[in-house]
């Protein structure tokens, strides 16, 4: 794999390859050196390590079988040296060393083996790229933080908020929420009490909602999310004014 993959290998892709162990040799050394003087690359590596940490945690440890150990032991045994043709064989004349047909065949076989190696390497490269794409898709589908929103009075769970690695945040109602005429549901988040709550979503009905946190800092553990009932069009003062229907704090997804 080229270090820049024909100048299209982005910093994020390279960081993903590094974390997943798809680099080796000079590429690996260059990536490790780059981490010391390229802050963007170092952050990308840190982000990918965080994204894939949960996947590592779910992998089950597999003990090698006895047959595998036997094959390893056999492959590391010292092989007997192949004797050179002796004088007696040389006097007889016909040996593999003098067999032009044999060496022609060996040469053709060597070329074929080299071609097969190229095919295998190209296949491995394509597989590694596909693996990276699948891991990226999996990491993006799996939420990083989850907030379960509960009604303080009834202790009923009303909705959940999922925060994903690509910046998406969604609210999913778990039960119908009654919205009277002339009122609206407004979703808020609070990560700093000195700054106060910020509106991140508005809807006139109980439905899945993509929340807007793009202008806010990244979601953190214990960040508060809540749903309030506000006048149609949302709170007129930029702060919650109506009753809090459901609220909950973000926690790291398992």
Question: Residue 61, by phi and psi: left (phi above 0), alpha (psi -120 to 50) or beta?
Answer: beta
Cβ-contact 165, 154 below 8 angstroms: no
Among candidates 56, 58, 51, which has minimal Cα distance to 163? 51
pLDDT of residue 7: 35
**Overall fold of domain 145-252:** Immunoglobulin-like (2.60.40)
Torsion sign (Cα): 229, 230, 233, 239: negative
pLDDT of residue 21: 73
The set of residues, in sequence order, having a beta carbon less than 8 Å from that of 29 and lying 6+ positions away, is: none
What is the C-alpha to C-alpha distance for residues 50 and 191, in angstroms, rounded to an integer?
Answer: 21
Residue with tokens 């990244």: 218
pLDDT of residue 159: 92
Cβ-contact 251, 145 below 8 angstroms: yes
What is the C-alpha to C-alpha distance for residues 187 and 177, in angstroms, rounded to an integer?
Answer: 13
Q: Where are the alpha helices (DSSP H) in the chain?
A: 11-19, 25-37, 39-58, 66-75, 87-92, 100-141
pLDDT of residue 152: 92
pLDDT of residue 24: 77
pLDDT of residue 111: 55
pLDDT of residue 2: 44
Helices 39-58 and 100-141, axial angle in degrees (round to 10): 90
**Which tokens go with 65?**
């079988």
- pLDDT for 35-58, tens place per residue? 888 888 888 888 877 766 655 554
**Pairing verdict, β 157-163 and 169-173:** antiparallel
pLDDT of residue 148: 93
pLDDT of residue 26: 83
Cβ-contact 225, 149 below 8 angstroms: yes
Per-chain mean pLDDT for the chain: 76
254 residues of the chain, pLDDT tens digit each: 444 444 334 787 888 788 777 777 888 888 888 888 888 888 888 887 776 665 555 455 556 566 666 666 666 655 545 544 444 444 444 555 455 555 555 555 555 566 666 566 566 555 566 666 656 655 556 788 999 999 999 999 999 999 988 788 999 999 888 899 999 999 999 988 888 999 999 998 888 999 988 888 888 899 999 999 999 999 999 999 999 999 999 998 76
Residue boundaries of the structural domains of the chain:
1-79+133-140, 145-252
pLDDT of residue 241: 94
């Amino acid at each position: 794999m080229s270090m820049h993959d024909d100048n299209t290998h982005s910093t994020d892709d390279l960081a993903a390859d590094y974390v997943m162990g798809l680099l080796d040799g000079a590429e690996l050394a260059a990536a490790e050196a780059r981490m010391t003087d390229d802050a963007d690359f170092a952050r990308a590596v840190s982000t990918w390590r965080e994204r894939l940490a949960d996947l590592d945690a779910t992998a089950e440890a597999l003990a090698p079988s006895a047959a595998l150990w036997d094959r390893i032991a056999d492959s590391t045994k010292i092989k007997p040296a192949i004797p050179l043709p002796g004088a007696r064989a040389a006097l007889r004349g016909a040996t593999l060393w003098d067999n032009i047909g044999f060496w022609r065949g060996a040469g053709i076989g060597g070329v074929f083996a080299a071609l097969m190696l190229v095919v295998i390497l190209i296949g491995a490269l394509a597989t590694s790229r596909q693996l990276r794409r699948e891991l990226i898709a999996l990491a993006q589908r799996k939420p990083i933080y989850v907030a379960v929103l509960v009604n303080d009075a009834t202790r009923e769970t009303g909705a959940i908020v999922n925060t994903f690695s690509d910046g998406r945040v969604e609210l999913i109602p778990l039960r119908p929420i009654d919205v009277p005429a002339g009122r609206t549901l407004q979703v808020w988040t609070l990560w700093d009490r000195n700054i106060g709550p910020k509106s991140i979503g508005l809807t006139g009905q109980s439905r899945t909602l993509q929340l807007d946190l793009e202008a806010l800092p990244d979601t953190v553990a214990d960040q508060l999310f809540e749903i309030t009932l506000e006048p149609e069009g949302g709170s007129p003062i930029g702060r919650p004014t109506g009753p809090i229907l459901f609220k909950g704090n973000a926690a790291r997804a398992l």
